[in-house]
């Protein structure tokens, strides 16, 4: 694939990937087209000789493996960078780390708690920065979700996506993607676990401008009724493990079961970003059942992240 062919698939060059708010509808559609192409053509040497630094402050399976394999398949190289082995773990300012890594690498991928840390890294780096998860956003996951839905439904038009559970980073990026692409979205959370107000209102306005409806409720049945997609995540994400017992009580009526999903459309899809806790946020009969596409969803992290990498690295 030459640069002209690449440009026909994805209209993005040399950009950070911090949140999907920063991308237009057409740019997101372009990334999905590019990911679908790379899924069929996995060994395009688009990043030959390029290097990606991967900073992980949190544990990871899918994110680390998909980014590392993705760089290899694109002809590049990925370096795993643990804060325990870097000066940033001993108090070096983010500014210094960003400026030095920019002299060595072609892009930085970071998985951390604080979104402000990612923003600061981006501010001082002269190379693209990719947000691989923060407490506020998970854009790579949301793009993989959209690719999975599109593959199984044939189109993203006229669909209702629903989310039941914690209004967390995964929920945020999922409904931002839905807003940008014009998908109807409904979320049900326990009281006190709603998504961030500012993120929700900003996404809702974008959705309305794109002709989509956004609904926030505390009733899982209301949310799932007539859904094309049912999505959930763990009840206690990384960093909230000490709240496990409290959250188990708060979320006890929010488990995804066959009974709850009987209110969705007959051909609904079940999605989960993984890892999953069977018997907590989702019943085994659902995640291991015929409507579940969680392993396709996990695989699509690879293809989407390759599209991101080949788009932002020049």
24 known member of a binding site: no
217 known member of a binding site: no
Alpha-carbon distance of 51 to 75, in angstroms, equals 10
Report the candidate in 62, 55, 110 with the shortest Cα–Cα distance to residue 85. 55
Coil/strand/helix, residue 234:
coil
62 known member of a binding site: yes
63 known member of a binding site: yes
202 known member of a binding site: no
Burial of 236-264, coded b for 16+ CB within 10 Å and e otherwise, reads bbeeeeeeeeebeebbeebbbeeebbebb
Q: Mark residue 75 as left, alpha or beta (left: phi above 0; alpha: psi -120 to 50; beta: remaining).
A: left
CB atoms within 10 A of CB 312: 21
Q: For residue 122, give Cα distances in angstroms to 50, 61, 102, 109, 309.
A: 19, 24, 10, 10, 15
64 known member of a binding site: no
139 known member of a binding site: yes
Q: Is residue 181 within 8 Å of 156, Cβ to Cβ?
A: yes
172 known member of a binding site: no
178 known member of a binding site: no
User: Which positions are catalytic?
Assistant: 111, 138, 141, 233, 273, 301
146 known member of a binding site: no
Alpha-carbon distance of 148 to 296, in angstroms, equals 7
Coil/strand/helix, residue 292:
strand
111 known member of a binding site: yes
257 known member of a binding site: no
Alpha-carbon distance of 128 to 256, in angstroms, equals 38
- The 8-class DSSP code of residue 90 comes to G
247 known member of a binding site: no
Numbered residues of the known binding site for L-ornithine: 169, 233, 237-238
Please report, in range form, the residues annotated as the binding site for carbamoyl phosphate. Answer: 60-63, 87, 111, 138-141, 273-274, 301
**What are the binding residues?**
60-63, 87, 111, 138-141, 169, 233, 237-238, 273-274, 301
């Amino acid at each position: 694939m030459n640069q002209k062919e690449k440009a026909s698939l994805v209209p993005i060059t040399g950009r950070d990937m911090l949140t999907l708010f920063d991308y237009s509808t057409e740019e997101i559609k372009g990334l999905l087209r590019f990911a679908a192409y790379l899924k069929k053509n996995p060994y395009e040497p688009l990043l030959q000789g390029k290097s990606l630094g991967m900073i992980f402050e949190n544990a990871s399976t899918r994110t680390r493996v998909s980014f590392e394999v993705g760089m290899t398949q694109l002809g590049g190289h990925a370096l795993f960078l643990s804060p325990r082995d870097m000066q940033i773990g001993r108090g070096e300012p983010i500014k210094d780390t960003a400026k030095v890594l920019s002299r060595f690498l072609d892009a930085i991928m970071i998985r951390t708690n604080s979104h402000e840390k990612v923003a600061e890294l981006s501010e001082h780096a002269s190379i693209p920065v990719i947000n691989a998860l923060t407490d506020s956003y998970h854009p790579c996951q949301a793009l993989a979700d959209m690719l999975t839905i599109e593959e199984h439904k044939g189109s993203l038009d006229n669909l209702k996506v629903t989310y039941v559970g914690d209004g967390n980073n995964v929920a945020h990026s999922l409904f931002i993607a839905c807003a940008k692409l014009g998908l109807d979205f409904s979320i049900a959370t326990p009281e006190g676990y709603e998504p961030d107000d500012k993120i929700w209102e900003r996404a809702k306005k974008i959705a309305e401008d794109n002709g989509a409806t956004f609904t926030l409720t505390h009733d899982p049945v209301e949310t799932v009724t007539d859904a094309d997609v049912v999505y959930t995540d763990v009840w206690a994400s990384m960093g909230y493990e000490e709240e496990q017992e409290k959250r188990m009580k708060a979320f006890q009526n929010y488990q995804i079961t066959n009974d709850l999903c009987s209110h969705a459309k007959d051909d609904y899809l079940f999605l989960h970003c993984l890892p999953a806790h069977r018997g907590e946020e989702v019943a085994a009969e659902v995640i291991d059942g015929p409507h579940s596409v969680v392993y396709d969803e996990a695989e699509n992290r690879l293809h989407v992240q390759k599209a991101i990498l080949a788009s932002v690295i020049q």
